[in-house]
Amino acid sequence: MKCKEVLSAALIVAAALGLSVPAHAGTCQPVKAKGVANTLAKATLYAQADLQYTAKHMKGRVTQTSTNCVPGPSSYRCKINAVVCPK
């Protein structure tokens, strides 16, 4: 895959997560965020940005996170599992 294709795929995932339902008052929801890039630092940065966008869209705050990054043949893939609770 080319860099533009990977970035496009990451943006599509971010948009899909952004369309999730807002958190109801008093409930916490699990959220997954992803980032793909040619370096570990960029992949982590993209995943964190995706998580921030999702939490902001849900009008909540991130309370717990775990990050998992794996190298691929030409890129790194990072996934963040988090819990977003209402502010």
pLDDT for 34-54, tens place per residue?
Answer: 999 999 999 999 999 999 999
Alpha carbon distance 36, 25 (integer Å): 32
Number of structural domains the chain divides into: 1
The pTM of this model reads 0.67
Whole-number mean pLDDT of the chain?
Answer: 81
Q: Cα 83 vs. chain centroid, distance in angstroms?
A: 12
Confidence class for position 5, pLDDT limits 50, 70, 90: low
Confidence class for position 2, pLDDT limits 50, 70, 90: low
Buried b (16+ CB within 10 A) or exposed e, 19-48: eeeebeeeeebebebbbbbeeeebbbebbb
- Which structural domain range is residue 18 located in? 3-86
Look at residue 87 in the predicted model and tell me its pLDDT: 83
Please report, for the domain that includes residue 59, its CATH number. Answer: 3.30.1660
Both tokens of residue 27? 């409930």
